[in-house]
């Protein structure tokens, strides 16, 4: 989600610790020690300049390069995209499969959604598709479903349904309708019909009894502001987009008579931010090839995981300054820019450690609902000797056959 | 600092503010550029670096687009919605230009290049939701060359509505408005369908000027007048930028005229007026009310407007007015659209649209826009816009200028559109042709004045050296599409419509004084009701300055002695 209400304590040693409002993911990230780290060429410690030279040599001769990972702040992502443009490389984020379920649905049907702040104050019914909400959207319930206060509804009284596999205790006011999420499109389609006052044929859809679905539909019609939410990462991996299209149709149908909004959940490593930066700088989403002529977007052909599996990449730049971008286990020659301590499947050709945005340097990142870009601040100085990802990527750019980049028209501000 | 001047010798300087000062006879003139500014004629012996002979070409200040959706979450979502647009209109890197794509939602770098190549040196993003302000500035930081500024959208934000309902004083509202301007790094305030976006969240589908909001009980009239008063009290040069209620609905001309009346002499800017000038006459109950609206504007010296001219072809409508966009979603072409309720702050609606010249409604919209341009008499109060991308892309401005300057060209176009519109429109009977000087006013001096940009929009000594030189071609579209020279801050950036250099412009902001005690009320509001903390909501100067991509330029606030409008 990218929450901005954490309380972070700093020990004398410089060690950070989340003391309030954090989820497991945040606690892990902030607890990462500020390790001293070296650059490595195939496991041999080298100075930064030597590592940069080796990286540039590797990339200079690449025919089908790629820039992946992209778990970084806005500035790091921008620098990575600029490098990709120079190289004619494919760009993709480490966790873009979930992102592209939503994006492909958007490109077919559009979307009707609402942001965290709107729903916190307004939503009185939640119909949530997915499983393991604690893991994928750890603070969904304490920040949005049951916040301490709400403007236009009783804060603690939201009701809802969880549709998906799983068992275990349910949040108060929630009911589980057990189903395999492979049936999510059919379930959502049946709900749309029921909300529109039609009667779908059959007794069950996706394992859920029709009368149970009818109750959900009635709840959506009677809600003042209903929510249809989903964890994209838990949908059918090969047809998540079809499910999201069906969720969107359900939301639009409900809006004929009352208010309702879609709520995509999950996402990590600033995947949303990486996609946004690519969209505004190049007009196209990730899974595009940049710099080899006009930007060329193809969500299937330029899925980096597939390209790597097919051996279609001959040089890979992998950026993992934040959590959420595991370095791929590939034999593709690789330049890894990673936070110190990032697990590596093997020693890459070049490894350059970078500092962590929001711990070691300032910047910005996009929140899970996309609307708010949040500021990141520097909270410690122990790792100050390491460069930022943007610094390393810009230095790499300088080592590659260059065209002039824009210079300031006026160097100084007259504030 | 350099001690050499650049001399632009012998141009026909078209700067209406100079004529007002009695400083020119309209003849040929030399312009001296130094350190990014227009300089006074130097004393003899001064070092002249470069001399460019203009041979009597037309010289104007850099053009200023007062209303163009060029960046922010809404525009970016529009890019993602339409990969087909970007597949068709892309360009690779060429050593000078970065790669990019898009026609009506161009990527950030392309946006800056295209504006500069057309002689535009500033553009204002008119719909920055405060909750989306940081994203908007991050995007605009990647728009090269031109200066840019943003209007913060207020008037549907729950903080303001709740405070108004609770009986807040005008001075409390003033402090809040000023705080928002500072916190979001904005240069003005826009109100979009006052109260209506919020009412839609309570499932109301339409809200008239004097209709009570379903939750707060206050009226759009109250929201409008309170915000317009706030900007006037604070001395913010750009008056309230108003997107009226009932956009696109036949008969909405009444609410538009009532809005002007409600302002009762307070300065205000009515934006994309074309979409708000519809009557209900005729067999189809959809007619032009351009004459009535123009008359109302002509008699209201406190009002400025931009038109939002439609241009035939494919585009996308992008608006904070989710109430209207949801209503129009059935018209989406291609059939996909986006509506989002945002952060107790506003909304976002995206509806792709194809304006067809043979369609009655679209043809009439086209005619209404041109009628408004031609019937509003004072070029100082009407500005050239297509409400990019809502009426069409900003790259159609040269075509639009030709429609305004060339009556026979206009009538040729009129003859091609839907015949019922062509037969009944008064457009064919309007003889007026805009002069070059009037174009210079409506695209430079006028927008600069209404935005409070004292050193832009003119070519007097001290002005920022944003200078555009045109060949005086009879085909005004060709003339304005490819200026002979474009200088930004004194540096040549385009020649014959082709980019020659790039760089970074400024972010233009306004910073009225206010009582910081308002934060004592805002801080708990953010903590109890928002999902971002106040300290993280506010955008620091460093976030804009630290990347070396242009400076911040602060528009001075007006004082009692300034002639306001």
Question: Measured between CB atoms, does B115 come within 8 Å of chain A?
Answer: no
> Residue B220: which residues within 8 A CB-CB, separation 6 or more?
B193, B194, B195, B196, B207, B208, B209, B210, B211, B213, B245
CA nearest to B372, candidates B363, B360, B384, B388: B384
- pLDDT at B1 (0 to 100): 56
Rounded to a whole number of angstroms, the distance between the first and last alpha carbons of chain A is: 35
B528–A115 C-beta distance less than 8 A: no
Question: Measured between CB atoms, does B338 come within 8 Å of chain A?
Answer: yes
Say if B215 falls within a structural domain: yes
A294–B531 C-beta distance less than 8 A: no
Say if B55 falls within a structural domain: yes
Question: Measured between CB atoms, does B145 come within 8 Å of chain A?
Answer: yes
Question: Measured between CB atoms, does B491 come within 8 Å of chain A?
Answer: yes
Query: Do B198 and B279 lie in a common domain?
Result: yes
> Residue A69: which residues within 8 A CB-CB, separation 6 or more?
A93, A94, A269, A317, A318, A319, A320, A325, A327, A337
C-alpha A167/C-alpha A186 separation (Å) is 22
Query: Do B190 and B334 lie in a common domain?
Result: yes
Q: How far is A114 from chain B (nearest CA, A)?
A: 5
A276–B76 C-beta distance less than 8 A: yes
Provide the H-helix boundaries in B63-210. Answer: 73-81, 83-88, 108-117, 133-140, 158-165, 170-184, 196-201
Query: Do B404 and B481 lie in a common domain?
Result: no
Question: Measured between CB atoms, does B83 come within 8 Å of chain A?
Answer: yes
CATH number of the CATH domain containing B481: 2.30.40.10
Please list every residue in chain B whose beta carbon sits closer than 8 Å to the beta carbon of residue A112.
338-340
Number of H helices, E strands in chain B: 22, 26
Query: Do B326 and B446 lie in a common domain?
Result: yes
C-alpha B81/C-alpha B91 separation (Å) is 19
Please list every residue in chain B whose beta carbon sits closer than 8 Å to the beta carbon of residue A115.
131, 340-343, 531
Question: Measured between CB atoms, does A322 come within 8 Å of chain B?
Answer: no
Question: Measured between CB atoms, does A112 come within 8 Å of chain B?
Answer: yes
Query: Do B432 and B481 lie in a common domain?
Result: no
pLDDT digits (tens, 9 = 90+) for B163-219: 999 999 999 999 999 999 999 999 999 999 999 999 999 999 999 999 999 999 999
Topology at the third CATH level for domain A99-265:
Dimethylsulfoxide Reductase; domain 2 (3.40.228)
C-alpha A308/C-alpha A328 separation (Å) is 9
- pLDDT at A11 (0 to 100): 85
Question: Measured between CB atoms, does B547 come within 8 Å of chain A?
Answer: yes
Q: How far is A348 from chain B (nearest CA, A)?
A: 30
Q: Return the domain boundaries, chain A.
A: 35-95+269-398, 99-265
Chain B CA closest to residue A122: B201
B131–A117 C-beta distance less than 8 A: yes
Q: What is the CA radius of gyration of chain A?
A: 23
Q: How many CB atoms lie within 10 A of CB B467?
A: 28
C-alpha B29/C-alpha B8 separation (Å) is 9
Query: Do B436 and B483 lie in a common domain?
Result: no
A373–B138 C-beta distance less than 8 A: yes
pLDDT tens digits in sequence order for chain B, 565 residues long: 567 999 999 999 999 998 644 444 557 999 999 999 999 999 998 999 999 999 999 999 999 999 999 999 999 999 999 999 999 999 999 999 999 999 999 999 999 999 999 999 999 999 999 999 999 999 999 999 999 999 999 999 999 999 999 999 999 999 999 999 999 999 999 999 999 999 999 999 999 999 999 999 999 999 999 999 999 999 999 999 999 999 999 999 999 999 999 999 999 999 999 999 999 999 999 999 999 999 999 999 999 999 999 999 999 999 999 999 999 999 999 999 999 999 999 999 999 999 999 999 999 999 999 999 999 999 999 999 999 999 999 999 999 999 999 999 999 999 999 999 988 899 999 999 999 999 999 999 999 999 999 999 999 999 999 999 999 999 999 999 999 999 999 999 999 999 999 999 999 999 999 999 999 999 999 999 999 999 999 999 999 998 888 899 999 999 877 754 4
Say if B292 falls within a structural domain: yes
B547–A372 C-beta distance less than 8 A: no
Best mutation target, A287, A410, A411, A412, to test chain B (most B CBs within 10 A)? A410
- pLDDT at B424 (0 to 100): 85
- pLDDT at B18 (0 to 100): 81
Q: Which CATH number fits domain A35-95+269-398: 3.30.9.10, 3.30.230.10, 3.40.50.740, 3.30.360.10?
A: 3.40.50.740
Residue B555: DSSP 8-state: E
Please list every residue in chain B whose beta carbon sits closer than 8 Å to the beta carbon of residue A261.
340-341
pLDDT digits (tens, 9 = 90+) for B389-414: 999 999 999 999 999 999 999 999 99
C-alpha A326/C-alpha A94 separation (Å) is 7
A174-178: strand order across its sheet: A174-178, A159-164, A125-129, A225-231, A259-265, A110-114, B337-342, B346-355, B313-319
Query: Do B282 and B363 lie in a common domain?
Result: yes
- Residues 142-161, chain A: which have Cβ within 8 Å of B? 143, 148-152
Q: How many CB atoms lie within 10 A of CB A203?
A: 7
Rounded to a whole number of angstroms, the distance between the first and last alpha carbons of chain B is: 35
Domain that holds residue B287: 158-168+184-451
Q: How many domains does chain B have?
A: 2
Query: Do B319 and B420 lie in a common domain?
Result: yes
Q: Is A351 within 8 Å of A344 (Cβ atoms)?
A: yes
Do the strands B337-342 and A110-114 form a parallel or antiparallel pair, or are they unpaired? parallel
- Residues 361-400, chain A: which have Cβ within 8 Å of B? 364, 366-367, 370-375
Block residue for tokens 């200040």: B61
- pLDDT at A180 (0 to 100): 96
Block residue for tokens 């001296």: B32
- Residues 447-476, chain B: which have Cβ within 8 Å of A? none
ipTM value of the model? 0.97
- CB-nearest to B102 from A283, A410, A414 is A283
Q: Is A390 within 8 Å of A20 (Cβ atoms)?
A: no
C-alpha A405, offset from chain centre: 29
- CB-nearest to B134 from A114, A258, A364 is A364
pLDDT tens digits in sequence order for chain A, 415 residues long: 888 888 888 888 778 898 888 888 888 888 887 777 899 999 999 999 999 999 999 999 899 999 999 999 999 999 999 999 999 999 999 999 999 999 999 999 999 999 999 999 999 999 999 999 989 999 999 999 999 999 999 998 899 999 999 887 899 999 999 999 999 999 999 999 999 999 999 999 999 999 999 999 999 999 999 999 999 999 999 999 999 999 999 999 999 999 999 999 988 999 999 999 999 999 999 999 999 999 999 999 999 999 999 999 999 999 999 988 899 999 999 999 999 889 999 899 999 999 999 999 999 999 999 888 999 999 887 655 799 999 999 999 999 986 544 444 544 343 3
Q: How many CB pairs under 8 A join A and B?
A: 240
């Amino acid at each position: 989600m990218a929450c901005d209400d954490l309380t972070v304590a700093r020990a004398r040693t410089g060690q950070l610790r989340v003391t309030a409002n954090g989820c497991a993911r945040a606690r892990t990230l902030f607890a990462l020690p500020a390790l001293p780290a070296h650059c490595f060429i195939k496991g041999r410690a080298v100075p930064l300049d030597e590592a940069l030279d080796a990286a540039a040599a590797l990339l200079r001769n690449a025919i089908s390069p790629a820039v992946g990972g992209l778990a970084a702040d806005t500035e790091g992502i921008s620098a990575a995209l600029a490098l990709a443009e120079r190289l004619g490389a494919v760009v993709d984020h480490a966790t873009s499969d979930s992102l592209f379920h939503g994006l492909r649905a958007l490109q077919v049907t559009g979307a009707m959604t609402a942001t965290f702040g709107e729903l916190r104050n307004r939503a009185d019914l939640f119909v949530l598709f997915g499983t393991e909400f604690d893991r994928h959207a750890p603070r969904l319930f304490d920040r949005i479903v049951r916040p301490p206060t709400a403007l236009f509804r009783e804060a603690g009284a939201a009701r809802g349904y969880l549709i998906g596999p799983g068992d275990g205790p349910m949040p108060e006011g929630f009911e589980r309708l057990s189903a395999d999420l492979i049936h999510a499109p059919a379930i959502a389609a049946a709900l749309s019909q029921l909300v529109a006052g039609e009667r779908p044929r059959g007794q069950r859809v996706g394992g859920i009894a029709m009368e149970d679905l009818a109750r959900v539909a009635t709840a959506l019609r009677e809600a003042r502001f209903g929510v249809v939410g989903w964890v994209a990462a838990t949908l059918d991996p090969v047809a998540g987009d079809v499910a999201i299209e069906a969720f969107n149709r359900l939301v639009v149908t409900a809006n004929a008579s009352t208010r309702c909004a879609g709520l995509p959940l999950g996402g990590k490593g600033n995947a949303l931010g990486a996609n946004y930066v690519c969209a505004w700088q190049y007009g196209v989403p990730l899974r595009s090839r940049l710099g080899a002529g006009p930007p060329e977007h193809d969500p299937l052909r330029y899925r980096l995981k597939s390209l790597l599996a097919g051996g279609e990449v001959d040089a890979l730049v992998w950026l993992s300054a934040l959590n959420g971008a595991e370095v791929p286990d590939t034999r593709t020659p690789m330049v890894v820019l990673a936070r110190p301590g990032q697990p590596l499947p093997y020693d890459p050709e070049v490894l350059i450690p970078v500092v962590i945005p929001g711990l070691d340097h300032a910047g910005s990142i996009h929140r899970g609902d996309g609307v708010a870009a949040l500021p990141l601040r520097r909270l410690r100085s122990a790792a100050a000797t390491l460069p930022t990802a943007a610094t390393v990527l810009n230095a790499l750019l300088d080592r590659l056959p260059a065209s002039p980049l824009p210079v300031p028209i006026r160097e100084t501000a007259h504030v | 600092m350099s001690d050499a001047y650049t001399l632009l010798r012998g141009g026909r300087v078209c700067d209406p503010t100079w004529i007002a000062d009695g400083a020119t006879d309209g003849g040929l003139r030399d312009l001296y550029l130094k350190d990014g500014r227009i300089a006074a004629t130097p004393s003899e012996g001064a070092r002249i670096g470069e001399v460019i002979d203009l041979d009597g070409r037309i010289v104007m200040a850099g053009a200023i687009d007062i209303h163009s959706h060029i960046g922010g979450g809404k525009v970016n979502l529009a890019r993602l919605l339409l990969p087909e647009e970007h597949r068709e209109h892309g360009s690779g890197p060429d050593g000078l230009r970065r790669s990019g794509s898009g026609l009506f939602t161009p990527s950030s770098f392309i946006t800056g290049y295209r504006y500069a190549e057309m002689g535009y040196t500033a553009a204002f993003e008119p719909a920055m939701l405060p909750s989306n302000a940081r994203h908007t500035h991050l995007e605009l930081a990647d728009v090269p060359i031109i200066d840019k500024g943003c209007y913060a959208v207020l008037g549907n934000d729950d903080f303001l509505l709740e405070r108004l309902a609770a009986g807040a004083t005008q001075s409390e509202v003033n402090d809040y408005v000023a705080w928002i301007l500072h916190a979001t790094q904005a240069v003005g305030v826009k109100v979009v369908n006052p109260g209506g976006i919020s009412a839609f969240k309570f499932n109301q589908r339409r809200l008239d000027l004097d209709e009570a909001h379903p939750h707060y009980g206050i009226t759009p009239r109250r929201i409008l007048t309170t915000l317009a008063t706030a900007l006037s009290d604070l001395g913010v040069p750009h008056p309230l930028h108003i997107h009226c209620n009932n956009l696109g609905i036949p008969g909405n001309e009444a609410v538009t005229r009532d809005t002007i009346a409600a302002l009762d002499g307070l300065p205000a800017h009515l934006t994309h007026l074309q979409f708000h000038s519809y009557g209900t006459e005729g067999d189809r109950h959809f007619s032009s009310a351009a004459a009535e609206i123009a008359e109302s504007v002509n008699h209201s010296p406190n009002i400025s407007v931009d038109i939002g001219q439609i241009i035939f072809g494919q585009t996308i409508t992008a608006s904070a007015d989710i109430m209207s966009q949801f209503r129009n979603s059935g018209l989406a072409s291609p059939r996909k659209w986006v509506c989002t309720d945002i952060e107790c702050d506003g909304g976002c609606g995206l509806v792709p649209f194809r304006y067809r010249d043979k369609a009655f409604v679209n043809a009439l919209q086209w005619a209404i826009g041109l009628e408004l341009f031609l019937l509003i008499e004072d070029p100082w109060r009407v500005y050239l816009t297509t409400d990019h991308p809502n009426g069409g892309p900003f790259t159609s401005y040269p075509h639009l200028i030709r429609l305004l300057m060339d009556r026979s060209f206009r009538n040729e176009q009129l003859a091609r559109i839907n015949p019922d519109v062509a037969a009944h429109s008064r457009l064919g009977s309007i003889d007026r042709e805009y002069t070059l000087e009037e174009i210079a006013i409506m695209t430079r001096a006028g927008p600069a004045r209404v935005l409070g940009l004292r050193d832009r929009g003119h070519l007097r000594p001290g002005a920022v050296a944003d200078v555009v030189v045109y060949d005086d071609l009879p085909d005004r579209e060709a003339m304005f599409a490819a200026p002979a020279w474009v200088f930004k801050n004194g540096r040549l950036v385009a020649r014959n419509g082709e980019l020659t250099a790039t760089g970074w412009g400024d972010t233009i902001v306004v910073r009225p004084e206010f009582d910081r005690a308002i934060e004592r009320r805002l801080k708990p509001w953010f903590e109890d009701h928002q999902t971002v903390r106040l300290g993280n909501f506010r955008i620091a100067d460093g976030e804009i300055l630290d990347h070396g991509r242009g400076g911040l330029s602060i528009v001075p606030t007006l004082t009692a002695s300034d002639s306001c409008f």
